[in-house]
Structure 1
């Protein structure tokens, strides 16, 4: 069955107004070659309600003059931030999501943030930090008494931010130094920053616009005892004037490498008084007599519960990174399919997508976009399940294990997604040559806007240690013959066969065999087991040598624990995508191309671990490396004709994508030339022309004075 025409002939029930046919042009030839109907794929990946929701958002932005862009216009930071805030305010006015809709279909929350991010991540982040991060922290860590803040966010009476990081402390959260001391005489807390190093720093929205913050501080009772890190709602500005509240010094940290429409700021507190009720009291409470109580007796568990909201941030960042990867690869693939250079004869030029090198550079990132997108969507729903359990006060063992597993997966998932997007954006920029370096084609902005994903909510390399710690905590189980190893999401279930898996070898003997994703999955299972064993042995040896747990763990990260965490998350992503693409419910018309994407993602990711596969004895001789590499090239070649249609599935409308070299009509040069000519003052002579024409340099005198 040929479903390659990009029409609704194979699926007459797909409304054309919902998914309009794509324009004919230079990309049409590649679209005709595709083995599947791109509209059917869209409907398979998202249900009709979600597709309609995204279309509603995109159409609203495109039809609203406030969101129109002007090619070549270089806004000042002040103007950019003003425009971003006005656009954020307009999103509130559109009211795309009611609270009831959010509860009924939480996927829409993620879809809204991602749609805004596809347009501009300064806008997406500004909206997200207020409506989800601030509100999420209040809702998850607070109680019914804090509902007023949630209502005020929805009506934009207040504007929120999330203040955890300090100037001198970020990843080491338990060392945060801001204090909140309970004053029994006034039944309230007094917030203080002991010095400038304790200033809250890097806080999104705090620079110019936030009126309220969730502030993390060390809670002290009146007797001077510290009960650890807790969160508080603190008003930092007057909503009527935007002037700082008494005792609050708040400001903007300045221009960043990207996302400059978002105002990141700092704050210091000098004897700032807040009501007792502003303590977010899920992890701890102060009684009317001034006594501290908590359901968590272990301070470590209390700290973990207090920082629980960070997992939701990391899960969201995974999705944000995938959006950036989708944008970058959409631009690069469409460009590569229309950019013609050289050819078999002097009179013929062919699209650069036909070159093996271009395929090898780009198509694995296309496969990664599909695999990571599916993982991030399903993982988001896993998080929703966890949050429902928290809301329902579920104290079951499964709920506890689910929290640990989501923490471990999110601490590795954010690094994997953000690094893949960062490397992919750079590769896409280079693959588009000089035109990719032109700012109007957006690849530079995508790269810069994705860059902070590698850092905030935890530096990637530091976060990976959380995942490896989780895995190392299971070592005692894998050595027990009848151990029960099972997790709610199944990511560690294969470890029950730990000893057996370590005896396996790479057995594929041909490229054809490697095209089956099961080859990569089997290799990954061995890889995780091997790295878990080696990390544990290295850790034990270091403990003997150093007699210090801190130094021992420090000396086990490179080549051991870090690699273990990455292999673990890559296996988890691949396994989910494999099960999805091979499920009986996946349409037979879509399975072939999806299975190829799965196989390519698996082999491409696995190829980065070939050294360890040989080092540990899983691979022997030249054959395994050769056929893995050849299989990657074969899959790239097979997916080359599918690539444009696969991009059509994930690319937003032209207005949102905002890249002249990547419009859906494929008219690369016409669109680029038109955009250049629309640039501001593009044909005007320089404003300093008189300096050039009238003041010729005098050669000699200055030199003689030196």
Structure 2
């Protein structure tokens, strides 16, 4: 067990060395220490520092510079590190299920160190353990203790070879046999094999398996989850009837063993059905607290929202790492200048500011939003566990589902694009693997796919919005939601009549201006999508065809714009609340305005198309405001990075170290690589095996 970090708040913030970055730090308009305390709070900062310090002082977590591990060795090391994390007891069982902020901070710490480690730990505890806790009952809680003692190791088995996003079409079956009071888990063919399951490849002993529940007589009650033992914990050999294996090397996160499994008439006790959404009595009678099959299906897949919000947090952490590396590099990398003799930091160039600072603002805005949504999700889960079956609780679940379904695409795509921009902004040095930007890009890439393909997920959000509008048109229902994310739609007709009135860039330097534009944009896209959908239906298309034909330029854009608006709205409210210290208001206000305007600028064509913008001035005003905000934030950029960057040991990038000694750190890291000064092992091929060229001489 690692001791809790003691000491005064000042111990949390050691001073940075007065190296090449000192000039920018000295010009900052705010105290980065004050901002850190405001954003995170002392308890969270102390906890994160405790975790980071423990990792850095433990030889098992030493960075293996110059050593390239085989796939098998990397997975072995990742498992040993995961086991050590449990030995430290950073999180208790109570923390996992009742302290969402602490759990979120811990995810952040492990992920910034290595996403393979974070994924392994949280697939075991959150995906497997939380699925049991949230979907099961007291009879299943014995598994929770075994999770934290590592008597068993878990995984979450939903997707199959032939089905991923379309969960209703999952083909694994669970037939109930009342004679033995057992379920028979079966894979009808290889296309129904569970696939892409993290931890399943080499490690997992148990799985939460999703299967279609059949009762005697052949009646199917839809998708339910079951605890299935897949390996013997003492030998790690497969259980009878289970074929389980590893999928092999991936593009990234190769410390995590993704695997597959097929089940051949595997019998499990009736009690292994996770029964919060539905249960089966010993004689084979089906019972459920949900009368509506759609509600029951939603409850059985509620853990997917946990996964999607967690992926948002992962993507944001990757973006924070990338902008930390790129901006520290940009503040110390000198190229060209006003005279032949003088070179200036590339951060002084407007083009570099425009490329990087909006992603810094996005890292702040999305971090706050993902954290707040995680807390909203924890409130929803408490209601479900408390048996709340109210209409408000049901609406709350729909809203969370819509936000998680669009939030994951927005965060993962923003991180994907941001990491690539950071890589390019660091030039050739950014392409060196040791500087980590390539690893971040590869490790972030699956965030765009797992727990639902991004483009498919956006349809969930647009369906939610279209459904609200349809209900209003059919019965006059009010456009409201528990989290108030759609309440502005009550003024839907009036908002559509508004127009942009800014006449200079100064009018746009507060996020209230792009916020008003976003509300118009969402209302416009909602109206256009709704009309397009009805037009398709009137022309004879069935519901499936109509929705399919409305995605491009309509529903997809609607879902993204609604999500961006929600992030902008929450960050605006957070940065403009009375509790913000006066010394922090200017910098937070600029971050809020820059993220809002930069995101909005991607919709300029639609803003003109719908008539909200008119004439050349509107677009130019927004562009000028973006560049002005970038210029205003330029001197604050290094201090803003100091708030979000982890210690150098965790950041693990020579060009992004806090001391700013760019070339010294880079040179030292290159020389530490194995065999850099040795001749190639194949040198003899160069010296003694010259090709015979006589017959290839050109004829003159």
Please indicate the TM-score interval, normalised by the length of the shorter structure: over 0.9
Query: What's the counterpart of residue 214 of structure 1?
Result: 208
Cα distance in 1, alignment partners of residues 81 and 124 from structure 2: 14
Confirm whether residue 526 of structure 1 aligns to residue 520 of structure 2. yes
1:103 Cα offset (Å): 4.9
Confirm whether residue 288 of structure 1 aligns to residue 282 of structure 2. yes
* Structure 2 SS opposite 1:622: helix
Do the aligned partners of residues 696 and 625 (structure 1) sit closer, same or farther apart at CA in structure 2, a change above 3 Å counting? Answer: same
Query: What's the counterpart of residue 470 of structure 1?
Result: 464
Do the aligned partners of residues 479 and 509 (structure 1) sit closer, same or farther apart at CA in structure 2, a change above 3 Å counting? Answer: farther
Query: What's the counterpart of residue 279 of structure 1?
Result: 273
Do the aligned partners of residues 348 and 254 (structure 1) sit closer, same or farther apart at CA in structure 2, a change above 3 Å counting? Answer: same
Match of 1:638 among 623, 632, 635: 632
Report if the CA contact (8 A) 1:216-1:229 is conserved: yes
Match of 2:188 among 159, 183, 194: 194
TM-score by length of 2: 0.97
Cα distance in 2, alignment partners of residues 388 and 280 from structure 1: 18
1:700 Cα offset (Å): 4.5
* Structure 2 SS opposite 1:656: helix
Query: What's the counterpart of residue 20 of structure 1?
Result: 14
* Structure 2 SS opposite 1:234: strand
Query: What's the counterpart of residue 546 of structure 2?
Result: 552
Confirm whether residue 72 of structure 1 aligns to residue 72 of structure 2. no
Cα distance in 2, alignment partners of residues 429 and 111 from structure 1: 26
Query: What's the counterpart of residue 10 of structure 1?
Result: none
Confirm whether residue 587 of structure 1 aligns to residue 581 of structure 2. yes
Cα distance in 1, alignment partners of residues 305 and 294 from structure 2: 16
Do the aligned partners of residues 636 and 237 (structure 1) sit closer, same or farther apart at CA in structure 2, a change above 3 Å counting? Answer: same
Cα distance in 2, alignment partners of residues 40 and 481 from structure 1: 51
Match of 1:245 among 232, 239, 253: 239
1:99 Cα offset (Å): 2.2
Cα distance in 2, alignment partners of residues 547 and 121 from structure 1: 45
1:100 Cα offset (Å): 3.0
RMSD of the TM alignment (CA)?
Answer: 1.4
Match of 1:40 among 29, 34, 38: 34
Confirm whether residue 150 of structure 1 aligns to residue 144 of structure 2. yes
Query: What's the counterpart of residue 695 of structure 1?
Result: 689
Report if the CA contact (8 A) 1:506-1:618 is conserved: yes
Cα distance in 2, alignment partners of residues 280 and 102 from structure 1: 19
Match of 1:615 among 589, 594, 609: 609
Map 1:180-579 onto structure 2 (within 5 A): 180-476=174-470, 479=473, 483-579=477-573
1:14 Cα offset (Å): 6.2
1:701 Cα offset (Å): 5.4
TM-score by length of 1: 0.97
Residue by residue over 1:19-45, the C-alpha shift from the partner in whole angstroms, topping out at 9 and shown as x without a partner, is 111111000000011000000000000
Query: What's the counterpart of residue 5 of structure 1?
Result: none
Cα distance in 2, alignment partners of residues 330 and 577 from structure 1: 21
Cα distance in 1, alignment partners of residues 696 and 223 from structure 2: 64
Q: Which segment drifts farther, 482-491 or 655-664? A: 482-491
Residue by residue over 1:405-435, the C-alpha shift from the partner in whole angstroms, topping out at 9 and shown as x without a partner, is 1000000000000000000000000000000
Cα distance in 1, alignment partners of residues 213 and 87 from structure 2: 38
Report if the CA contact (8 A) 2:95-2:103 is conserved: no
Cα distance in 2, alignment partners of residues 580 and 644 from structure 1: 22
Cα distance in 1, alignment partners of residues 626 and 79 from structure 2: 45
1:15 Cα offset (Å): 2.5
Report if the CA contact (8 A) 1:71-1:676 is conserved: no
Residue by residue over 1:183-221, the C-alpha shift from the partner in whole angstroms, topping out at 9 and shown as x without a partner, is 111100111100000000000000000000000001111
List runs of 5+ in structure 1 lacking aligned partners: 1-12
Do the aligned partners of residues 190 and 623 (structure 1) sit closer, same or farther apart at CA in structure 2, a change above 3 Å counting? Answer: same
Report if the CA contact (8 A) 1:478-1:495 is conserved: no
List runs of 5+ in structure 2 lacking aligned partners: 1-6
Do the aligned partners of residues 642 and 173 (structure 1) sit closer, same or farther apart at CA in structure 2, a change above 3 Å counting? Answer: same
1:110 Cα offset (Å): 1.0
Report if the CA contact (8 A) 2:155-2:198 is conserved: yes
Length, aligned pairs only: 692
Map 1:654-669 onto structure 2 (within 5 A): 654-669=648-663
Query: What's the counterpart of residue 123 of structure 2?
Result: 129
Map 1:77-156 onto structure 2 (within 5 A): 77-103=71-97, 105-156=99-150
Query: What's the counterpart of residue 3 of structure 2?
Result: none
Residue by residue over 1:54-92, the C-alpha shift from the partner in whole angstroms, topping out at 9 and shown as x without a partner, is 000000000000000122221111111111000000000
Q: Which segment drifts farther, 690-699 or 347-356? A: 690-699
Cα distance in 1, alignment partners of residues 237 and 515 from structure 2: 57
1:481 Cα offset (Å): 11
Match of 1:162 among 153, 156, 164: 156
1:224 Cα offset (Å): 1.6
Do the aligned partners of residues 481 and 184 (structure 1) sit closer, same or farther apart at CA in structure 2, a change above 3 Å counting? Answer: closer
Q: Which segment drifts farther, 16-25 or 423-432? A: 16-25
Do the aligned partners of residues 437 and 605 (structure 1) sit closer, same or farther apart at CA in structure 2, a change above 3 Å counting? Answer: same
1:546 Cα offset (Å): 3.1
Do the aligned partners of residues 169 and 101 (structure 1) sit closer, same or farther apart at CA in structure 2, a change above 3 Å counting? Answer: closer
Cα distance in 1, alignment partners of residues 381 and 405 from structure 2: 17
Residue by residue over 1:619-666, the C-alpha shift from the partner in whole angstroms, topping out at 9 and shown as x without a partner, is 100011001011101110110000000000000000000000010000
1:547 Cα offset (Å): 3.0
Do the aligned partners of residues 152 and 431 (structure 1) sit closer, same or farther apart at CA in structure 2, a change above 3 Å counting? Answer: same
Match of 2:56 among 56, 62, 65: 62
Residue by residue over 1:537-570, the C-alpha shift from the partner in whole angstroms, topping out at 9 and shown as x without a partner, is 0000011113311000000000000000000010
Do the aligned partners of residues 455 and 461 (structure 1) sit closer, same or farther apart at CA in structure 2, a change above 3 Å counting? Answer: same
Cα distance in 2, alignment partners of residues 186 and 247 from structure 1: 18
Cα distance in 2, alignment partners of residues 100 and 386 from structure 1: 18
Query: What's the counterpart of residue 4 of structure 2?
Result: none
Do the aligned partners of residues 276 and 205 (structure 1) sit closer, same or farther apart at CA in structure 2, a change above 3 Å counting? Answer: same
Cα distance in 2, alignment partners of residues 96 and 46 from structure 1: 18
Cα distance in 2, alignment partners of residues 379 and 351 from structure 1: 38
Cα distance in 1, alignment partners of residues 112 and 70 from structure 2: 21
Report if the CA contact (8 A) 2:323-2:356 is conserved: yes
Query: What's the counterpart of residue 29 of structure 1?
Result: 23
Cα distance in 2, alignment partners of residues 70 and 512 from structure 1: 50
Residue by residue over 1:308-352, the C-alpha shift from the partner in whole angstroms, topping out at 9 and shown as x without a partner, is 110011111110100000000000000000000000000000000
Report if the CA contact (8 A) 1:203-1:265 is conserved: yes
1:96 Cα offset (Å): 0.3
Query: What's the counterpart of residue 4 of structure 1?
Result: none
Cα distance in 2, alignment partners of residues 555 and 480 from structure 1: 23
Report if the CA contact (8 A) 2:415-2:444 is conserved: yes
Report if the CA contact (8 A) 1:478-1:496 is conserved: no
Query: What's the counterpart of residue 6 of structure 1?
Result: none
* Structure 1 SS opposite 2:267: strand
* Structure 1 SS opposite 2:54: helix
Cα distance in 1, alignment partners of residues 615 and 475 from structure 2: 33
1:298 Cα offset (Å): 2.6
